[in-house]
Chains A and B, each alone.
Chain A
Amino acid sequence: ETGVTQTPRHLVMGMTNKKSLKCEQHLGHNAMYWYKQSAKKPLELMFVYNFKEQTENNSVPSRFSPECPNSSHLFLHLHTLQPEDSALYLCASSLRGYEQYFGPGTRLTVT
């Protein structure tokens, strides 16, 4: 594997379900990010991790819970989501906060 990978690529879940998104970076970077991308809106930063420590939580609802066990892996745990949470969720990584490299995204649909 190269670059930034995300699984699953597509996810459909009910509002009462619990699911997790996974991101892995193979670039030797030390910072990882979660973004939300909704139609016709700019990318919204959700969380930032530097050296496994969360350094930013951009006022994200508690139904989104991030986890970063090491510098290469990042998870986003989802529970009791709302239909408006349907979006493309993107993971990115960078080296010391410079250029960010993105994964392919997870297309999430909440029914």
Chain B
Amino acid sequence: EDQVTQSPEALRLQEGESSSLNCSYTVSGLRGLFWYRQDPGKGPEFLFTLYSAGEEKEKERLKATLTKKESFLHITAPKPEDSATYLCAVQDNQGGKLIFGQGTELSVKP
């Protein structure tokens, strides 16, 4: 059964304190791994898609990486506006539904 586990559940950082969020997954055959950002009371905002182990993508202070078992979302020198819940999801190679993790709630204090 496809499964996604994100850790930690919550992360508190000081502004400028870099860290990483983890997304561990099991899937029969990976078509894609997706990262989203969700602000309170809003819909998830698409960030990245990773397709194969070794792939990396960057956007501003965020960098996503992928191995055969997990993905990391690295946040470099975060700012308070990076505070949000970050969601990870996987899709199998049958092009089926996305399986979401429970998210990591990130709080960045000035």
Cβ of A48 under 8 Å from chain B: yes
Chain B residues near A49: list those with CB within 8 A.
Answer: none
Are A103 and B102 neighbours in the complex by a CB distance under 8 Å? no
Whether the Cβ atoms of A99 and B46 lie closer than 8 Å is: yes
Task: Mark A residues whose CB is within 8 Å of B.
Answer: 4, 6, 40-43, 45, 48, 56, 58, 88, 90, 92, 96-105, 107
Closest A residue to B47 using CB positions: A99
Number of interface residues of B (CB under 8 A): 23
**DSSP class of B's interface residues: helix, strand, loop or mixed?**
strand
How far, in whole Å, are A107 and B50 apart by their CA atoms in the complex?
31
**Structural contact, B42 and A105, CB atoms closer than 8 A:** yes
Could you tell me which B residues sit within 8 Å of A by CB distance? 4, 32, 34, 36, 41-46, 49, 87, 89, 91, 95-103
Could you tell me the distance between the alpha carbons of A48 and B32 in the complex, rounded to whole angstroms?
18
Which residues of B sit under 8 angstroms from A90, Cβ to Cβ? Answer: 43-44
Given contacts A45-B97, A56-B97, A97-B95, contact A102 B102 (CB under 8 A): no
> Which residues from chain A contact B49 at a C-beta distance below 8 Å?
98-99
Chain B positions within 8 Å of A56 at CB level: 97
10 sample A-B contacts, Cβ–Cβ < 8 Å, listed by A number: A42-B4, A42-B103, A43-B87, A43-B98, A97-B91, A97-B96, A98-B32, A102-B43, A103-B43, A104-B43
